[in-house]
Structure 1
C-alpha cells in the first residue's frame, strides 16, 4: 500500500528563538539527544524493513533536525531505498548543505522556512541557491507577519523562478482583505492558509493512507488528534487503518488540512505534497519577481 508517515521524535532543541513559534522549545540535554537519536534510528530501521509498502516520509521535528548528524544521515540513507518515494523534512536551513550531495536528489526534499531576524538574509539565500545548484527539491516560506512582508518580497525576487515561496498565516492573526491581498500577491495559494478550515465530520486521508508517529512508535491519524491507532513497531496500527471523518472542529495547519478530501490540495500539490511544492507553480504578480 501507499503509506505517508509524519515522524516527530522527542527532539525539541532549536538554534533559533522565534517569538512567534508555536512550538515549545527547550535545550536538550545529552541524554535527551541520545534518546532522540535512538528513536530516529529505530524508525529508520523500520522504514528500511517496510518494503511491503511504498513509503513517503516527512520529518516534522519540534526543534531543528538538520543541525544533528543523525537526521542528515537518516534522510540520506532513506532516500536510497527503492520503496521510499519521497523523504522530506521541515527545516530552518541553518545547517550546511554539502550533505545533500550524498542523497538521491530524486527522493530528497526540503521544506525550508526563512525567519527574518534569526539568520542573515544573504546566508539563507545563499543556501537556497546551493540547493538549487545541487538539484535538490525544496520550497521556501515565511510566516505572514506584517514585519516579514518586505523580507518576503525581497526573497521572492531573488529566488530561482522554479522555487515556490509559500506564506503561512500567523497563528492568531486575523487578516483584513487588504493584508491578505498583499500576501496573495506573493503566494497565490495563501487563501488556503488565511483561515482555519472547517473539518468536523469531513473525510480526511489521515488514519487511512497518512499517519503520524512519535518517538516511541505510537501511531495516530495526525499530529492534532490524540487518539491512538496502535504501535508502529508491533504492527498493531495496521488493523486500525481505514477511512474516517475528522473529529476536530477545524484544521488550521498545512500538514493537516492538506490531507482533507474536501480540499483540492492533493491535485494542487500533486507529486509534492510532503515538501509543499505545487504541481504547477502559481503565477505571482508581475512586479514581485522583478
Structure 2
C-alpha cells in the first residue's frame, strides 16, 4: 500500500507570537510535552515497522516541533528507512540546523515559513542558505498580509534561485486584483491560495491514499473532517480506506486542497507534494 500520512500530535507550544496565529507563545506543561514525545515515539515505531507499505509522512504540529529534540531525532531516523519515500515537517526554522547532518537529504524535506518581526531576517536567510548548502529539499513562504509584501520581495531576491517562495492568503483577508497581482508576481501559484476551493461532493485523495493521524492514533481522512476512519495502531482504519467525495463546502488550506483531484496540484508539485516544492519553478 502507498499511503501518505499527515501526523499531528498533542504539541501546541510555539516560540513565536505571531498575531495571526491562535497558538502564539502557547506553553505546554511538562506532562503535555512528555505525552507528545511518547505519542511521536509510538507513531515512529509504527512507521518503521510498516515495511510492506510505502509511506510518505508530513508532520504538521500546531506548535513548533523542531525546537524539540525528539522531533529532530525522529525525522532524522525515519529519513533512513528504505520504505519511507518522504518525511517532511512544517517549521518556522527557529531551530539549529546541524542535526540535518544525521538525516538522509534524499528523503527529508522542510516546509519553512518566514514570520517577519519574529526573527532577525539575516538569521532566517542564513539558515535557508545552510539548508541549500546541505542539499536539503525545502520551500519557504510567508503569509500574504500587506505588511509582509516588502519582506517577501526581499526574501525572493536573496533566496537561492532554485528555492520556491510560496504565499498563503491571509485568513479573512480579501485581495483586490492589484493586491493579488503583487503577490502573484512573487508566487505564480498564489491564485490557488487566494480563494477557498469549492469541494463539496468532489473527489479527493484524502480517505483513500492520504489520511490524517493524531497522537492517539485516530485516523481521519484529513485534518478538517472530524469523522473517524478507525485507529492506526489496531489496523481498523485499513478497511475504511476508499475513494470518497469531500463532505465540506470549501477547502481553504493548502494541506487540504492540494489533494483535490479536480486541481492539477499533484502534477505541479510532482515529487514534492508534502514539502510544497514544485516539480519546476512556476513562472507568472
Structure 2 residue 220 is the aligned partner of structure 1 residue 220: yes
Residue of structure 2 equivalent to 1:125: 125
Structure 2 residue 231 is the aligned partner of structure 1 residue 231: yes
Residue of structure 2 equivalent to 1:141: 141
Residue of structure 2 equivalent to 1:265: 265
Residue of structure 1 equivalent to 2:252: 252
d(CA) in 1 for partners of 2:188, 2:85: 27
Gaps of 5+ in 2: none
d(CA) in 1 for partners of 2:26, 2:186: 33
Residue of structure 1 equivalent to 2:69: 69
Q: How far apart are residue 26 of structure 1 and its match?
A: 2.5
Structure 2 residue 83 is the aligned partner of structure 1 residue 87: no
**TM-score, length-normalised on structure 2?**
0.99
The root-mean-square deviation of aligned C-alpha atoms, in Å, is 0.8
Q: Secondary structure at the match of 2:201?
A: coil
Contact 2:7 2:212 in 1 (8 A): yes
d(CA) in 1 for partners of 2:164, 2:175: 22
Gaps of 5+ in 1: 285-290
Residue of structure 2 equivalent to 1:206: 206
Post-superposition CA distance 1:214-234 (Å, at most 9, x none):
000000000000000000000
Q: Secondary structure at the match of 1:123?
A: helix
Residue of structure 2 equivalent to 1:40: 40
Residue of structure 2 equivalent to 1:281: 281
Contact 1:168 1:193 in 2 (8 A): yes
Residue of structure 1 equivalent to 2:9: 9
Post-superposition CA distance 1:198-218 (Å, at most 9, x none):
000000000000000000000
How many residues end up aligned between the 2 structures? Answer: 284
Q: Secondary structure at the match of 1:140?
A: strand
d(CA) in 1 for partners of 2:4, 2:198: 23
Structure 2 residue 189 is the aligned partner of structure 1 residue 189: yes
d(CA) in 2 for partners of 1:106, 1:129: 18
Which contiguous aligned blocks of 4+ residues in structure 1 show a shift greater than 6 angstroms? none
Contact 1:25 1:62 in 2 (8 A): no
Q: Secondary structure at the match of 1:236?
A: coil
